[in-house]
Amino acid sequence: MPQQPPVRTTGSPTRRPDASMSLLTNVMEHGLDEGYAEAAARRRAGGGRLPRTPRAKLGLAAGLMVAAAVVTVGAAEARISAPVLAKEREELIDRVDAETAAVDELARQVDELRGEVGERQRKALKSEGNDRERLVALLAGATEVEGPGLRLVVDDAKGTDQGEGSDGPRGSSGFSDTGRVRDRDMQRIVNGLWESGAEGVAINGQRLTALSAIRAAGDAILVDNRPLVPPYTVVAVGDGTALNTTFRSSADGRYLEVLRENFGIRFTLSSADEVRLPAAPSLIVRTAEPMTATAGADRSGGQGAAGTGKGTS
């Protein structure tokens, strides 16, 4: 029976199933680099120890000696410098404490001198002179004042944290109105009292003068950089009945009514037979003229008062 010739295929040869993973196969089969393999073979041939020549031993010993010397020198320097650093630190602390005590002492002296200057200014503006000097002392707040007047108590609206508004006389302020009394409200109230004939004004016990400033720091109102706490009690000295009527009918009195209607700000205004205003805590004398002993004697009925002065603030 004749044999069949072998069948020949003309297609491409059959590829290995893992031909696409040749890189992973190579890494798995040759996990150790050839250089590492040669070094391991040399170690096995030498009994598992690296060759140690005398030169290598000397180098190793020299390196160990240098490292020990560096550590020893560093430890010695640290031990020597530690007391010096501690001493410098203690000296610095002592200097800080001494300077702090000096600053405190200077601040105390400044307060004493400031009080002495204020007392002398008040004495210079006391009502020992003529009517003009008494008027200057009154307007400057140099002396306490007692007499008839009115009492105005202004307070924030109830629930000021919930109320909001953007209309009314304060709508152009740039921030939402919440029924709180603002510094500009107090400015208008005080100016309205002055225009209505008040001879002296105080807010929460702080005397106002021509140099007083009413400002704001956040929601807090400051009078001469001193914060106020609501309710704000404004006391004015003058003809109580006339002052009350004039202020209510003025533009600033109507402004206060609008604040109550639009924002719920509360206030009470009443006349008083007797009110008392304290002297201003600090005075600034702008001009002063020295008085001779003769002039002082003429004013005091023949008894000289050398060193007495008069001034305006």
Give CA separation, 49 vs 32, 44, 60, in Å: 20, 8, 16
Using the predicted structure, report yes or no on whether residue 112 has a pLDDT greater than 80. yes
pLDDT at 187: 93
- pLDDT(172) > 50: no
The residue ranking higher by pLDDT, 184 or 309, is 184
Whether pTM > 0.85 for this model: the answer is no
Residue-range domain boundaries for the chain? 55-124, 144-277
Output the CA–CA distances (angstroms, integers) from residue 58 to 55, 93, 312, in the order listed: 5, 52, 96
The rounded percent of the chain whose pLDDT value lies above 90 is 25
Cβ distance 208 to 190 under 8 Å? Answer: yes
Q: Is pLDDT above 60 for 293? A: no
Q: Are 235 and 218 in contact (CB under 8 A)?
A: no
Asked if the model's pLDDT at residue 262 lies above 70, the reply is: yes
Task: Write out the two tokens for 275.
Answer: 């009110």
Predicted pLDDT of residue 283: 63
Q: Residue 82: pLDDT above 80?
A: no
Considering the segment(s) 144-277 as one domain, its CATH architecture is 2-Layer Sandwich (3.30)
How does pLDDT run across 11-70, given as a tens digit for each residue?
Answer: 555 666 656 666 667 666 665 566 667 777 777 776 555 556 777 777 777 888 888 888
Q: Are 265 and 157 in contact (CB under 8 A)?
A: yes
Instruction: Give the tens place of pLDDT for each residue, 209-246.
Output: 878 889 998 878 999 888 998 899 999 998 889 999 99
Position 127 scores a pLDDT of 47
Ranges 84-88, 156-160, 192-196, 240-244: which has the least confidence: 84-88
